Structure 1
């Protein structure tokens, strides 16, 4: 949908932000060639604007892969939304390490970051930029603004408006999960320079919940929208995620609501793709994986070129003795690997019969004695820029990739349902076991490794989530929910030492960037920073 954006809308949406953005979340551009009133005389402008909202998750500016950034002063590869989100969800855990020494990067896995960390700061800025864009879309799509269009055009714009509210709720969910107490701005706030008030975690949880419930029936029915656009299934999924982590966010468990909304999704005609590998290939929008994927971030090697997203994940995971051509790329960047603790989540490690154990071991050591050396730690081969027949993606140079990122998918829903049942949320234990076994039968090619109800413990679920969902940007949130992220779990180089060590529990939240604390007197820093 967002492969092309009309030039006049690019002008309207070119709102570069700097490192600190609390005081300019809703700055209007100074170089209008047309006013919003001029632009939105055309109903097609609303779809173009909506395209930009989706594109904000996938690319970093107006000219891929670089050249006209959304955020001034940042490397466009480093500052891309999904790349940052993936890094903050994966690098502080046992699922991923990286050997590069860019400022602030080693601190993510070591869990010794500060409030000045550039990656933590830039994720925060990227979230706030997305919020600013969605707020402007909502200002321009109210009933008064669209009253001059035909009834059919108004109905379509209302659907777009619901999607925009979902995308804003998604970004605020990321802020809730990672930062806890961010500044809060909505379409009701004035446009211009002001200092937003800080919202507390419980209040933000309540707001996100109310937004999603308000738009639930305004969204296109589950599986009824274009692939890549949000529908009711995506709303149910975000609600289920919110409720799954409610005890962390608010101190009150909501597992019965997880059962309700995962059941809604399961009953909406999604289906597991037969081959697990298909979920992570360049044609995962058409090889059957699209029936399992509930909400993707879409990529195309030519039309959504970026050094972020899965271009980053695929290239950075290739190095050493690995052949880049097998992954559909022209080079390996030699950075990302995994820890022995993650490899050992699989029976027999890299030799496991579990087809989800996707590791390259030749020329690699299991142990990580030198975190800067790509040969230390097994490489992960999960994502590829090739289709089911081994053909490279659309970019003939092999630089950019076509592989979509499956942010939400049915395999996760099955595991969420099972966890909610085990945690006392109701539901059906035999059904929970059945869902987990469906995933394991796919992974093992049969039922020889099925589990029974007695096996379905919290520890098993956490490990099964690692095996099923690794490198899909869930692990940090999962470890925090299970109390294994900071002051309990230990893995290689956590705490900055080879054998790993615990860290302070306050690191379950990232800090509010010091640059924003310095300019917005309404903000208080998260404890510990």
Structure 2
């Protein structure tokens, strides 16, 4: 795809930066008159390095300056990074569905996505806008715009380049996972050039992109371990732990991406992350004492760089309510914690035979847009009526105890309340070890200020256990790791563990955290062998065509750039 020149600006908390993009292309052009241009950078190299890397981080947190979407022709809220990956990884699965009627978005809840779908173009565009932002930052440094005249300035620029490479790898994980043989653009692809597909053969092209991204991450991790082994970035920034956690995700899925498993590498990197972060908290595991501390209004305390010594949230997407920030400036969007709470909830009508209130979640809005699928609900332990579960991870759900119907009789918004449970995990309540900390909770507002947890230490424990059960280590260690998670949820610990039990535990722990489609594909349960309500637009579920292991590349992108479309699309 061809990138027109654009410039970076912004800071992590407040920024004025917008990219324009037409739906049919990724031609990126500046639209904000207050944007910075590189000719200014030399006047304050340190300050402009901060602002420029902030512009990169901003594209992972929200959608554009002044409420504008970076992907034109695509809803601003949907165009955010978190919602884009949620759409790709969760909406077609057994966990969650998006029920408002929409010609293109509506197809995602059935898993049927043509190459012409505008949402596939929007989600793909978001990933490549972020990749382009990372590359453009590195290019402005290498082109000498910052006048780095001291070792301290050069060291700062080098560290920010490492961070941009890590963020780029994060976007590439979702691109490779969902789209397969994607074009590869690193900092050597200049503006105005078309990012190439590395091969016209699907399997070979996907493998080559994977290998390049993994090699880059390995280089970053090796540098940190040689030069900064105790790396602890400031809150909101990425560093060694995010880089190595991304390697865990890549190696966990290596067999899917390349045809060759890498369980030993997955375990080695997972153990390294656990070795650094697995201290304090629940049973000295590094996990929060309360599961919902990861998903409350104050969850930034439990992120790396946060105020709590327990940092379960490895990669966090910062958000901030304006009312909580003394400067009066916030970083908010209709994604992240706002989406993950308000997307499910709403006030039940006064004459309804079910109950739900936005006040239950300390939120000022509710969209009534999502419901859970019954096959996912059944993975938890319940009483006879599927009303109450001993599993603490269901504490905020709306179930039959609240009058909600468990079955997806339809996936229509008008039947919200009777066509599926609400599997809510994010709220606007502050959380302490015992649960809700009402005294320190913010006011109920439309957009919530809690961070979004992109990668948690719990995921690393589960990935390590999976690598072990696939032959990489001692099964006793896998049981130990999974029992930290299971016991925190109030469930009986395992004495032995098999892969089926582990798969279900991973689903219970990481539900709606944008891993599910990837997991089902790795388990061999996505195409066939396991069905859920409305899979392939059949009420009781039906198998997918084998090409559905990846989405199509957007048809306009293929046509304009000469890319080879994914097989059988």
TM-score of the alignment, normalized to the shorter chain, above 0.5: yes
* Per-residue deviation, 1:17: 1.3
2:515 and 2:309 map into 1 onto residues whose CA distance is 19
The 5 Å alignment of 1:118-129 reads 118-129=118-129
1:133 and 1:477 map into 2 onto residues whose CA distance is 25
Q: Partner residue of 1:198? A: 197
2:393 and 2:32 map into 1 onto residues whose CA distance is 51
Name the CA shift for 1:327/1:525 in 2 (closer, same or farther; >3 Å): same
The 5 Å alignment of 1:32-47 reads 35-43=37-45, 44-47=47-50
1:335 to 359, 369, 382: 369
1:470 and 1:278 map into 2 onto residues whose CA distance is 15
CA contact (8 A) 1:350 1:357 kept: no
Instruction: Number of aligned residue pairs: give it.
Output: 509
Name the CA shift for 1:30/1:493 in 2 (closer, same or farther; >3 Å): closer
Structure 2 residues without counterparts, runs of 5 or longer: 1-10, 199-204, 279-285, 303-307, 323-329, 349-354, 432-436
Instruction: Please say if 1:408 is aligned against 2:408.
Output: no
The 5 Å alignment of 1:324-473 reads 324-348=358-382, 349-358=386-395, 359-361=397-399, 362-372=402-412, 373-375=415-417, 376-388=419-431, 389-390=437-438, 394=442, 396=443, 398-425=445-472, 427-444=473-490, 449-453=492-496, 456-473=497-514
1:278 and 1:33 map into 2 onto residues whose CA distance is 37
2:190 and 2:137 map into 1 onto residues whose CA distance is 14
> For 1:396-436, what per-residue CA distance to the aligned partner results, in whole angstroms no more than 9, with x for missing partners?
561111121111111111111110011112x2221111111
CA contact (8 A) 2:340 2:424 kept: no
Q: Partner residue of 1:525? A: 565
SS of structure 1 residue aligned to 2:489: helix
Instruction: Please say if 1:2 is aligned against 2:24.
Output: no
Q: Partner residue of 1:83? A: 83
Name the CA shift for 1:35/1:346 in 2 (closer, same or farther; >3 Å): closer
2:388 and 2:33 map into 1 onto residues whose CA distance is 59
Q: TM-score, normalised by structure 1?
A: 0.91
Name the CA shift for 1:40/1:511 in 2 (closer, same or farther; >3 Å): farther
2:114 and 2:36 map into 1 onto residues whose CA distance is 42
2:274 to 242, 246, 266: 266
1:56 and 1:180 map into 2 onto residues whose CA distance is 23
* Per-residue deviation, 1:109: 1.8
Q: Partner residue of 1:497? A: 538
1:473 and 1:422 map into 2 onto residues whose CA distance is 23
CA contact (8 A) 2:74 2:119 kept: no
Q: TM-score, normalised by structure 2?
A: 0.85
* Per-residue deviation, 1:328: 2.0
1:119 and 1:393 map into 2 onto residues whose CA distance is 35
Structure 1 residues without counterparts, runs of 5 or longer: none
Q: How large is the Cα RMSD of the aligned pairs? A: 2.2
1:86 and 1:482 map into 2 onto residues whose CA distance is 19
CA contact (8 A) 1:357 1:467 kept: no
Name the CA shift for 1:221/1:293 in 2 (closer, same or farther; >3 Å): farther
> For 1:489-522, what per-residue CA distance to the aligned partner results, in whole angstroms no more than 9, with x for missing partners?
201111112111111121110100112122112x
* Per-residue deviation, 1:49: 1.2
Q: Partner residue of 1:310? A: 337
SS of structure 2 residue aligned to 1:503: coil
Name the CA shift for 1:479/1:391 in 2 (closer, same or farther; >3 Å): farther
1:88 and 1:215 map into 2 onto residues whose CA distance is 28
The 5 Å alignment of 1:162-177 reads 162-177=162-177
